[in-house]
């Protein structure tokens, strides 16, 4: 039962989305495009004003129990659900966070995202997600504008620091009135950061190899442009130096985080640093490449070579041999990020004495397995 009169339909009532009247006075009923019930429909059916319905929706106390009950029943009956878009516009508040990530196909970023989603759910925030195709975006500005135009209450920038891909911070941040929090980037003033202590993790790993009596400890690093890779390399280097070992260029080769690059890096190392008796690898995937290579050569691990990875992916326990690694809780990273951002939002609203930004640094944990000896466990 749908009528259509070309160009002669005129709205007669601002609401009640099923009634229309044609210009010549003929009343026509048009079925609503989408039968979305509005607050007006509820009000009409209950014989009250939209305000009263709104009060019920928002659990206000200034509604008589009778009315409340009646309206609630009608809401139920009509299966009415308030339009969140309209609420956002009216309340000037969206209950949405924006999240920028990259490299979701890798295990790290997706674990972090998982921590973000669960904590956001817990705190009642929805999530608007953007994934960058590369780690550095050529158009940060329009991304920020997109989030702002969608009225997000806060932004989590979950992009690792690579080269100068965070340099926009200096120019763009001052003009940004939306709270924003960064993951896994280097210390900066006036910026809220949550990160993992890559440096200490790397130091602990290297120290373990030293303590195990190894004298020629190599490093397979992540890409030199990555801040996290730099930190891990520095941890390795400093631990060696402080124990009186000299650190030479041939003791370190860079990979690109992939197993293939790890394998290639190991091949290079075994040529250029043949005394090597241990290697600290900047992530577990690359360490897997090392293990494949040593298996092919028939090297015994840990006797001929000790290996330590970084990240603590679940699979590392089932490598052959099982891999000692520096575990970082990336899920927790995301979870804490949301908590902190929520605090920032609240602080921002009660405009008094804005708390200074903090830098939260999570400590990773060394997991001992076969690739460094016979004493599995955690330090």
Q: Footprint of DNA on this chain (CB under 7 A)?
A: 7, 9-15, 17, 36, 38-40, 47-52, 54-55, 57-58, 61-64, 66-68, 82-83, 86-87, 89-92
Binding mask 143-172 for a second copy (x = CB under 8 A): --xx-xxxx---------------------
From a second copy, DNA, none, interface partner of 148 (C-beta below 5 to 8 A by class): a second copy
Q: Sort 365 into a burial class: Cβ within 10 Å, 0-12 / 13-18 / 19+.
A: middle
Task: Pick the closer one to a second copy by CB: 164 or 315.
Answer: 315
CA distances to 169, 173, 185, 186 from 189, in Å: 11, 11, 12, 10
Distance CA(206)–CA(218), nearest Å, equals 9
Which residue is associated with the tokens 């999240």?
99
Q: Which helix (H) or strand (E) holds 172?
A: helix 168-172
Residue 199 CB, shortest distance to a second copy, in Å, is 25
Residue 68 CB, shortest distance to DNA, in Å, is 7
Distance CA(203)–CA(324), nearest Å, equals 14
Say whether residue 3 binds a second copy (CB under 8 A).
Answer: no
Distance CA(80)–CA(54), nearest Å, equals 12
Say whether residue 373 binds a second copy (CB under 8 A).
Answer: no
Question: In this structure, how many other beta carbons lie within 10 angstroms of the beta carbon of residue 95?
Answer: 17
Q: Which of 56, 63, 156, 288 binds a second copy (CB under 8 A)?
A: 288
From DNA, a second copy, none, interface partner of 24 (C-beta below 5 to 8 A by class): none
Distance CA(129)–CA(111), nearest Å, equals 15
Q: What is the token pair recorded at 22?
A: 């044609």
Task: Name the site residues for a second copy (rule: CB under 8 A).
Answer: 34-35, 79, 81-86, 88-89, 94, 99, 104-105, 107, 109-111, 113-114, 117-118, 121, 126-131, 133, 145-146, 148-151, 175, 177, 258-260, 262-263, 285, 288-289, 291-292, 295-296, 314-315, 317-322, 331
């Amino acid at each position: 039962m749908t009528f259509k009169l070309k160009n002669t339909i005129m709205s007669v009532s601002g609401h009640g989305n099923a009634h229309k009247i044609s210009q010549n006075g003929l009343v026509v009923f048009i079925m609503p495009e989408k039968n979305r019930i509005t607050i007006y429909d509820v009000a009409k059916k209950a014989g009250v004003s939209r305000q009263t319905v709104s009060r019920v929706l928002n659990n206000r106390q200034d509604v008589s129990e009778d009315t409340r009950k009646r309206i609630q029943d009608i809401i139920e009956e009509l299966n009415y659900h308030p339009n969140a878009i309209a609420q956002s516009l009216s309340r000037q508040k969206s209950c949405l966070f924006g999240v920028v990530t990259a490299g979701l196909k890798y295990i790290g970023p997706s674990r972090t995202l998982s921590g973000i989603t669960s904590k956001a759910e817990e705190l009642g925030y929805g999530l608007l997600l953007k994934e960058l195709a590369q780690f550095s975006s050529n158009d940060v500005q329009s991304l920020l504008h997109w989030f702002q135009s969608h009225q997000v209450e806060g932004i989590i920038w979950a992009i690792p620091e690579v080269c100068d891909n965070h340099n926009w911070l200096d120019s763009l941040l001052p003009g940004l009135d939306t709270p924003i929090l960064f993951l896994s980037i280097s210390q900066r003033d006036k910026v809220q950061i949550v990160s993992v202590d890559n440096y200490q993790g790397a130091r602990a790993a290297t120290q373990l190899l030293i303590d195990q009596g190894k004298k020629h400890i190599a490093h397979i690093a992540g890409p030199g442009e990555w801040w996290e890779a730099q930190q891990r390399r520095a941890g390795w280097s400093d631990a060696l130096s402080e124990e009186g070992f000299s650190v030479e260029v041939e003791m370190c080769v860079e990979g690109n985080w992939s197993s293939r690059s790890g394998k290639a890096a190991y091949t290079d190392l075994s040529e250029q640093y043949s005394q090597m008796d241990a290697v600290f690898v900047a992530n577990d995937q690359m360490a897997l490449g090392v293990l494949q290579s040593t298996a092919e050569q028939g090297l015994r691990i840990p006797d001929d070579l000790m290996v330590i990875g970084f990240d603590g992916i679940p699979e590392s326990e089932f490598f052959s041999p099982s891999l000692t690694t520096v575990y970082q809780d990336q899920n927790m990273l995301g979870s804490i990020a949301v908590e902190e951002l929520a605090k920032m939002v609240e602080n921002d609203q009660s405009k008094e004495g804005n708390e200074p930004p903090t830098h939260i640094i999570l400590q990773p944990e060394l997991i001992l397995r076969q690739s460094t000896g016979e004493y599995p466990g955690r330090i």
